[in-house]
Structure 1
């Protein structure tokens, strides 16, 4: 007696097509996808972040979307985004990027780190003390606070400086060398810690 051969077909009623995935044929499987979303909000957010110094590589690490897809969304070649890509990109719209979620060697925009170090030095902190407290070198304290053409810094020193700044923002101002006073850097209390990484933010003294 010949054994019956089981036939496989789409799990949807009255559909005789072969299954593609999830027990459904290709047309029925497509209907389970989330509706495509307008790529415009994601493109604008990506442009804001890249203009602020975020690299496509860092944004790829943060969102889980490959660099090629991010570049395509940013270029405008995709008018819509689908499924998992849209879900991952949505993370960019939730607020500021949390550098703590990135690998220590991921490059992040240097602006916030520069502002924090400048403010701390304007408040009388010596570079040697800042280096010891944050775990970065004294040379890095100098370069990060003065090199205006530098674009990025690794996430680890960025976070170390941010934590120290928050812990000591309200400390009394100490005497500073004349060369530091002449720079006119804002003091720590003149910065809103929630916006100090924002390129559009200004200190209470009106400086960026």
Structure 2
């Protein structure tokens, strides 16, 4: 009757020889070296088959705080997921109180350095979340932002409320943000109703527009937005004083409304409305001058 030979799941430690009777030359040599070391240390009275697991557990915690993943730690320390799980988690058998010294040595040998950021690195989503919120505060609904940024709107909904995000996603949104924040939603097919709804949503949620964040502050969780006045549309036909002064100057030179509109690049109705404001202001100023002259004459007569 033939005997089924079980294949070891890996060949990184003594398990393959002791439990699976592995015959690989390197595995047998590793097992023999372990036996020789054990016999020698027993003879000297220094044999220590297990050590306290707490230093290795704390070292793993520091590595994870620096951005290292558990699979990455397993690979660097050449330990199995089961070994790492036993060290870290309070499961059925509770956390390991003691572990093999060689396991502890390999874990503690991993340097405490920040893990290099790659496309699949999970990073803090503060800056990404604030960028999306700022665009919504401008009047961009997520449904319209999806095509602009290259994401499905449902994916943007998850990101705008999330705490962690892939580095590649954060980079794509940061690049798109620089472009979209310079665009007006009404000039890119977003209905006025949707713009109002997006701004109202941002106001309810306390989201801030791009002007509230200064440079790199948008990515800093400890930075607070600069408080600005709430958005409000300018009153109808109110423009800057320089524009009105140009209209008044050309009118006093004898130019017609059509001529002024052509020279300043505005439409005839706008120029006419602004000119009406100018004429009312001049009429009011003339009336006040007449009244003031009348008061002076009455004072002199008295």
Q: TM-score, normalised by structure 2?
A: 0.37
Larger Rg: 2
Structure with the largest fraction of helix:
2
TM-score for the superposition, normalised by structure 1: 0.48
